[in-house]
Amino acid sequence: MPDKNFIYTDLYLLIFHARIQFWEYFVLPIFVLLIYFIAKRTQRLKIEAFPEYKYYVNAILFKILGVFGFCMIYTYYYDGGDTFVYFVNANALSSMAFDNPLTCLSIFFGDMSSENQTIFSQYTRWLFYWRDPQAFFVNKLVAPATLLGLKGYLLTSVVVASITFSGVWKMYRVFYDHFPKLHKELAIAILFMPSVVFWGSGILKDSFTLASAGWITYSFYHLAIKLSRKKIFYHLLTAFISAYILISLKPYILYSLLFGFLIWYIFYKIQSVKSNFHRILIFPSIFMVAWVAGGLILGATGKIIGGDYENIDKMINRADVIRRDLIRSEQYGSNNFNIGDYDKNSLTSVMMKIPQAMAAGLFRPYLWDVRNIVMLLSGLENMFLIIFTLMIVFRTSPMFLLNALFDNPLILFSFVFAMVFAFSIGFSTSNFGALVRYKIPLIPFYMAALFFVRNKQMEAEKEKREKMGVPGVE
């Protein structure tokens, strides 16, 4: 077993090697101004045809502010983190691309042989993720950004934040296309939620998975719902790339999205039928066809991904292994929680944990779970989510809530995705530090659904006041 002091020394050397260089603070304003002028020009060209671009500049600047805070925290507050490992290895890959392009290309295509490892070790001594395909894939994604970021950690992080912002913006445009009157609420839900911006901007898996979730939602909307005849190849390509990134990093996000897309498509087709009588007649047929097709798609996806994501049993087993690993205080500290014991070989036992897992995935850490200043950000945000959710639930009837969710297929998809995803991370994650990062893809969808339901409540209350002859407050 390696000497623990040697491992710690090696990690501290890595942190020193990867941390922000002093010269980056002088170059950063130039980068920010360049991004600002590009964003401002994009806004000026687009805003007349697409009014939602009124938020474009502020949203990307808020993203940069988020990644700056992220870099400060990891550089001066934490004693390191995987973001530094990703950056150092990505730097090594970009250097190798010039010195040894063929070997670099073979590594990019998955040749992780001992020969390639020996060559790669000439560019960096830190090979923590060489045998972890999902983690090493982040290095491949970040490598081109290191060149644009002048091989500095802070500047590369700003480049990554600017690039991944595109996926979040595409997500916002899908919702705006449906609910333009809720432009301000949707901007808060998707573009300006603090924890999403903070954890979804740095050199981490989460930045790329969040962006990919936005891009694939945008592509699915145009291909399957809007049936756009223009840019079909473009949407197919972006959907394929996004799916590939999700499969390579966090396949369970793709599973949750595919299940949600299936619900979205089913109810979109049903809602397109004007007659309620005909809807009732065709519902069983559409549901069965979509269910069978969805099962085949999910099954095929499982076979493509393989490994621990091939079927439900293997996914449950993997989730149980991850949960038990993350709860080890000697490795991950005391910031953990436990949804209770269950029999991983019994589907009934697993399903009994759905309420606890969903509650954890949606609302934890609670304020009383907070152990440090970084977790406080998520704790405060989660308190807001709890209050907002309870306010909506207690101000109306369950039937109204169901009618509101089923009123629009996009909102139904958002709610279903959020619930499925909350269960998956609440069930498999037992460490708060990991949970606050893993949950960020569900927050925009869940918040958008809440704002939609709240808007329906306000409309119903206004209509009720008008019938009673009571003047409303504008």
d(CA 454, CA 395): 10
* 251/189: higher pLDDT: 189
- Average predicted confidence (pLDDT) for the chain: 83
Q: Over 60: is that where the pLDDT of 265 sits? A: yes
pLDDT in tens, 374-386: 888 889 999 999 9
- Element of type H or E holding 26: helix 24-46
Q: pLDDT tens digits, residue range 275-293? A: 655 555 555 665 566 556 6
pLDDT of 327 reads 54
Q: How many Cβ atoms sit within 10 Å of the Cβ of residue 361?
A: 26
Of 198, 312, 217, the closest CA to residue 257 belongs to 217
Tell me the C-alpha distance between 117 and 142, whole Å. Answer: 19
Q: How far is residue 326's CA from residue 337's CA, in Å, rounded to a whole number?
A: 9
Q: Tell me what pLDDT residue 237 has.
A: 96
Amino acid identity for residue 169 in this structure: W
Greatest mean pLDDT among 7-16, 78-87, 183-192 lies in 183-192
CB atoms closer than 10 angstroms to residue 464? 11
Amino acid 398: pLDDT = 84
Which segments of 221-275 does DSSP mark as H helices, in order?
A: 232-249, 251-271
3-state secondary structure of 205: helix
Q: Is a pLDDT exceeding 50 seen at residue 4? A: no
**Torsion angles phi and psi, residue 54, rounded to 5:** -60, -25
> Which pLDDT value is given to residue 427?
81
Q: pLDDT tens for residues 184-207?
A: 999 999 999 999 999 999 999 999
- pLDDT value for 81: 78
Q: How confident is the model at residue 330 (pLDDT cuts 50, 70, 90)?
A: very low
pLDDT for 270 equals: 80
Peptide bond into 194 cis (omega under 30): no
What local confidence, expressed as pLDDT, does residue 389 receive? 94
Backbone angles phi, psi at 23, to 5 degrees: -65, -20
Task: Quote the radius of gyration of the chain (alpha carbons, Å).
Answer: 23
DSSP letters of 349-398? HHHTTHHHHHHHHHHPSPGGG--SHHHHHHHHHHHHHHHHHHHHHHTS-H
CB distance 421 to 361 below 8 Å = yes
Q: Which long-range contacts (CB under 8 A, 24 or more apart) does 23-29 make?
A: 23/152, 24/150, 24/152, 24/153, 24/154, 24/155, 25/154, 27/150, 27/152, 27/155, 28/68, 28/154, 28/155, 28/158
Rounded-to-integer distance, Cα 414 and Cα 442, Å: 8
Average pLDDT over residues 381-403: 90
Cα 228 to its chain centre, rounded Å, is 25
pLDDT of residue 124: 82
Question: pLDDT tens, 25-53?
Answer: 999 999 999 999 999 999 999 999 999 99
Q: How far apart are CA 269 and CA 471, in angstroms?
A: 39
